[in-house]
Amino acid sequence: MTTTTPKFDNGDQIDKKGSFNRKEACFRSLIAKDNPVFKPELDRYHLFISLTCPWAHRTLIVRNLKGLQHVIGLTVVDWQLGNDGWKFSERDGCTLDPLFGFAGIKEYYFKTDPQYSGRFTVPVLWDKKTNTIVNNESSIIIRIFNSAFNDFAKNPELNLYPDHLAKEIDEINDYIYPNINNGVYRTGFATTQEAYEDAFHILFQGLDKIEERLSKSRYLVGGTFTEADIRLFTTLIRFDAAYNGNFKCNRNQIKEFPNLSNYLRELYQMDIIKQTVNFKHIKGGYYSISSVNPNGIVPLGPNLSYLDIPHTRK
């Protein structure tokens, strides 16, 4: 009997223990004044995102915080991820492809490389001059946005990755990514009880540790708001709405953590960040994942009104 390794709609794989393992993004070019190909220019680059996806959400937040809306174009794909990847649509909050009239993101991958055989993921940072994908790794894109376009940015003084905090930012990112950012996926996509329980305990141990950390400092790296906070925020804001229910991350909701919930409220209540959050896309996207919710029913709850209660962080 031949066995195959099951795959999810986005191409990620499950190992023999039933554990979820995320594949790495493969386009890693940078944009810089000294780059021979990709130089910072006004209206040269276009960002494709999903408002469902926490990785893509990071890039949108940094783009907007830096004031790059007039520099980097934006297209939002449909909230539902299918077997062929992300599609363009005219549903509420989504947009059709403005550059080539493509049906979906995968066509941008094939335009870049006709032999491409990887995943069709977002975010995608596209270069309109060379007609190629510059980068599809969110952690790199946010650093490109943080520094490469300061000559055009409305908020060039904002530095989300200052040199004197870089080591500490990297350290906390390296902890939060496997334990929390990807931890919710390892929990939700586990296909055996053992893999689920292992991921579940790691996830909540991670949240407990960050809860304690935030009892001692306003942000993840002392009193300075950095990229680390944005990277955590995009997971936390989806937790009660999607991960707690659909991914069975249900020991606690974020609103039950005194420090995490207060911290989440502070970030959410920043107007520029709040404007990037779309719970219709978040819930519609996650609850359309057939491998974990085969009937596709989107719950009416939970009540997320606590997010608007004034925070007391200082």
pLDDT of residue 255: 99
The rounded distance, in Å, linking the Cα atoms of 146 and 157 is: 10
Q: Which residue has the tokens 């004044």?
A: 33
Name residue 46's beta-bridge partners.
Answer: 73, 126
Residue spans per domain, the chain: 1-158, 163-270
What beta strand segments (E) does 116-175 contain? 124-127, 132-135
- Has residue 2 got a pLDDT over 70? no
pLDDT, tens only, 277-313: 999 999 999 999 999 999 999 999 999 999 999 999 9
pTM assigned to the model: 0.94
Sheet containing strand 45-49, edge to edge, reads 72-76, 45-49, 124-127, 132-135
Query: Is 163-270 in the same CATH topology as 1-158?
Result: no
- Has residue 10 got a pLDDT over 50? no
Is 227 annotated as a binding-site member?
Answer: no
pLDDT of residue 19: 75
Mean pLDDT value across the chain: 95
Q: What is the CATH number of domain 163-270?
A: 1.20.1050.10
The rounded distance, in Å, linking the Cα atoms of 54 and 143 is: 16
pLDDT of residue 70: 99
Burial-class residue 28 by CB neighbours within 10 Å (0-12, 13-18, 19+).
exposed
Residues 6+ apart with CB under 8 A from 250: 244
pLDDT of residue 291: 93
pLDDT of residue 209: 99
- Has residue 151 got a pLDDT over 70? yes
Is 224 annotated as a binding-site member?
Answer: no
Q: How confident is the model at residue 3 (pLDDT cuts 50, 70, 90)?
A: very low
pLDDT, tens only, 218-276: 999 999 999 999 999 999 999 999 999 999 999 999 999 999 999 999 999 999 999 99
Three-state DSSP state, 74: strand
Is 122 annotated as a binding-site member?
Answer: yes
Averaged over 184-196, what is the pLDDT? 98
- Say how far residue 31 (Cα) sits from the centre of its chain: 20
Is 120 annotated as a binding-site member?
Answer: yes
pLDDT, tens only, 193-216: 999 999 999 999 999 999 999 999
pLDDT of residue 211: 99
Three-state DSSP state, 72: strand
Q: What is the CATH number of domain 1-158?
A: 3.40.30.10
pLDDT, tens only, 64-122: 999 999 999 999 999 999 888 999 999 999 999 999 999 999 999 999 999 999 999 99
Is 121 annotated as a binding-site member?
Answer: yes
Is 138 annotated as a binding-site member?
Answer: yes
Tokens of 68: 């790059």
Averaged over 36-51, what is the pLDDT? 99
Q: How confident is the model at residue 20 (pLDDT cuts 50, 70, 90)?
A: confident
- The CA angle 96-48-82, to the nearest 5 degrees, is 70
Annotated active-site positions, please? 53, 185
Name residue 48's beta-bridge partners.
Answer: 75, 124
Q: How confident is the model at residue 26 (pLDDT cuts 50, 70, 90)?
A: confident
Q: How confident is the model at residue 15 (pLDDT cuts 50, 70, 90)?
A: confident
